[in-house]
Amino acid sequence: MKNVTDCNVRVKEIELNGFKNVEHGLIKMPSTVEKKFFEHGSDILGIYGQNGSGKTAVIEAMTIIQCLLKGEPLDEYIVNYIGKKSDTCSLRVRFSIDAAERKSLVDYCVELSRNEESFKVAKESLSLTKWNGEKFLKKKLLLGYEEKM
């Protein structure tokens, strides 16, 4: 790979659990449903739905994921995003990465836990599944963190 512009990264799935008003939500991009994981075209132009259906939650979840992947701190108001029915919420995003001859699916998962008026990252993982041209190989855990009780 010569430079970063030779790499194509696309969001393939977004899953929210206990985040804001979303008890459970899973969005699979059309290319994922069609098993065209390494298509270079856009999958999504916008998000639409009824009021209260979770559109804003998806955008805010992606903002949190972006901050965490960049190593930026999260604002304290994030505690308010953890659903009212639980003291935890989880976010998962699956990306496809196409970098010349290297093609992979990457899963990033994070669990946030509420404690009084604050929150903490209780679990975090990053895993990779390589594509060998015919099939996906065994998933490998690259990063795993779980808070000890």
Quote the CA–CA distance of 55 and 89 in Å, as a whole number. 17
pLDDT tens track for 32-53: 888 888 877 777 777 888 888 8
Quote the CA–CA distance of 15 and 25 in Å, as a whole number. 6
pLDDT tens track for 87-143: 999 999 999 999 877 999 999 999 999 987 899 999 999 999 999 989 999 999 999
Quote the CA–CA distance of 7 and 24 in Å, as a whole number. 31
Please tell me the predicted confidence (pLDDT) of residue 142: 96
Q: How many CB atoms lie within 10 A of CB 39?
A: 17
Quote the CA–CA distance of 76 and 90 in Å, as a whole number. 17
Grouping H, G, I as helix, E, B as strand and the rest as coil, residue 66 is helix
Q: How many Cα atoms sit within 13 Å of 20 on the Cβ side?
A: 17
Q: How many CB atoms lie within 10 A of CB 99?
A: 13
